[in-house]
Amino acid sequence: MIETINRTAEYIRSQVGEMPRTAVILGTGLGDLVNHIQITKEIDYHTIPDFPVSTVEGHSGKLIFGHLGGRYIMAMQGRFHYYEGYDMKQVTFPVRVMKALGVETLFVSNAAGGMNKEFRVGDVMVITDHINLFPENPLRGRNYEELGPRFPAMTEPYSERLIKMADEIAAADGIRLMHGVYVGTQGPTFETRAEYEYFRIIGGDAVGMSTVPEVIVANHAGMEVFGVSVITDLGGKDITEVPSHEEVQKAAVKAQPVMTRIITEMMARL
Ligand code: HPA
């Protein structure tokens, strides 16, 4: 496993040269961020040795290197979801490679369904904590001490420092920025009304099908993490609207300017 990670990292380094200390996983809602990066280099996933191969045809995804808010970063355009059939090691492989390349700070974004009754469609929620309801932990199996400890603490999976920074930017700009606990589930079904209700009762504010595996591995590797969700639909026992992929995409696009503003400013302040 370590040889594979290092081989992939070595390939990327040989293609790109200088490596950034900051990475962004562009989930639904952060797609527009790409248009704000002064791109210096792009690498298609399918050309990278041992990178997972995309299940969606013509959408292999790519690694992007360039400057955002004056900071040199790398961005993953396209992530690997557990529901697509990847195993947890594949889902989180890019995070291992980032760490091997010297990345110290990871930004992640996603679309999520809101259970918190204060939330509205189009809200942006800073992830303050998560509840892992995936059927498998990405750290299951042999632990490599070089990568991180056997039993990593998860008491601050999302950096308090970065949450505070986001709050300051939002306050200065008059942006409505919510806080909440993200519940990670395997999907691909959206939740039943009873499930949305259940996730709210156990302490969740939003639910989605990604992010938690990558954040666990990033924490294991000692990275500082910032996560943000776009609330694309609402769920609960009184809510009759049916979530659809199209609606999720549409709501995510609407929240893009706020997402882009916050992340870009954070890059400048890091
Ligand atoms: N549930 C799970 N994942 C999601 C949702 C949802 O309601 N909305 C966007 N991603």
Average pLDDT rounded to a whole number, residues 69-86? 94
Q: Which helix (H) or strand (E) is 76 found in, with range?
A: strand 71-77
Average pLDDT rounded to a whole number, residues 142-158? 96
Residue 253 banded pLDDT, cuts 50, 70, 90: confident
C-alpha distances (whole Å) from 269 to each of 70, 168, 198 are 9, 11, 38
The amino acid that residue 36 corresponds to is H
- Return d(Cα 132, Cα 28) in angstroms, integer: 20
Query: Residue 86 has what pLDDT?
Result: 94
Query: Residue 59 has what pLDDT?
Result: 59
- Name the burial class of residue 3, with classes exposed (0-12), middle (13-18) and buried (19+) by CB atoms within 10 angstroms of its CB: exposed
C-alpha distances (whole Å) from 88 to each of 3, 80, 92, 259 are 18, 9, 6, 27
Query: Residue 57 has what pLDDT?
Result: 55
Average pLDDT rounded to a whole number, residues 47-55? 84
Q: Residue 202: name the closest of 212, 194, 192 by CA.
A: 194
Residue 55 banded pLDDT, cuts 50, 70, 90: low
- Return d(Cα 150, Cα 135) in angstroms, integer: 19
- Quick check: CB of 226 below 6 Å from ligand 1? no
C-alpha distances (whole Å) from 131 to each of 12, 73, 193, 206, 213 are 33, 28, 19, 10, 11
| pLDDT for residue 264 is more than 90 | yes
| pLDDT for residue 130 is more than 90 | yes
The dihedral built from the CA positions of residue 207, 213, 216 and 222, taken in this order, carries a sign that is: negative
β-pairing, 124-132 vs 177-184, is: parallel
Query: Residue 1 has what pLDDT?
Result: 87
- CATH code at 211? 3.40.50.1580
Q: Which domain range does residue 219 map to?
A: 2-269
Average pLDDT rounded to a whole number, residues 118-141? 97
Residue 63 banded pLDDT, cuts 50, 70, 90: very high
User: Residue 210 phi/psi, 5° resolution?
Assistant: -145, -160
Residue 216 banded pLDDT, cuts 50, 70, 90: very high
Q: Residue 236: name the closest of 200, 185, 184 by CA.
A: 200
CB of 97 closer than 8 Å to CB of 132: no
Please tell me the pTM assigned to this model.
0.95
- Quick check: CB of 231 below 6 Å from ligand 1? no
CA of 159 to the centre of ligand 1 (A): 24
| pLDDT for residue 60 is more than 80 | no
| pLDDT for residue 80 is more than 90 | yes
CA of 189 to the centre of ligand 1 (A): 8
β-pairing, 62-68 vs 22-26, is: unpaired
Question: Helix (H, G, I), strand (E, B), or coil: what is residue 204?
Answer: coil
CA of 110 to the centre of ligand 1 (A): 9
Query: Residue 252 has what pLDDT?
Result: 84
In order, the DSSP letters of 219-231 are HHTT-EEEEEEEE
Q: Which of 185-189, 238-242, 265-269 has the lowest mean pLDDT?
A: 238-242
Residue 243 banded pLDDT, cuts 50, 70, 90: confident
- Return d(Cα 99, Cα 5) in angstroms, integer: 9
- Quick check: CB of 190 below 6 Å from ligand 1? yes
Query: Residue 185 has what pLDDT?
Result: 98
What tens digit of pLDDT does each residue of 13-38 get? Answer: 999 999 999 999 998 767 788 999 99
- Return d(Cα 200, Cα 238) in angstroms, integer: 13
The residue whose CA has the least distance to atom 2 of ligand 1 is 208
Domain count, the chain: 1
In order, the DSSP letters of 137-178 are -TT-S---TTT--SS---S-SS-HHHHHHHHHHHHHHT--EE
Query: Residue 242 has what pLDDT?
Result: 84
CB of 36 closer than 8 Å to CB of 256: no
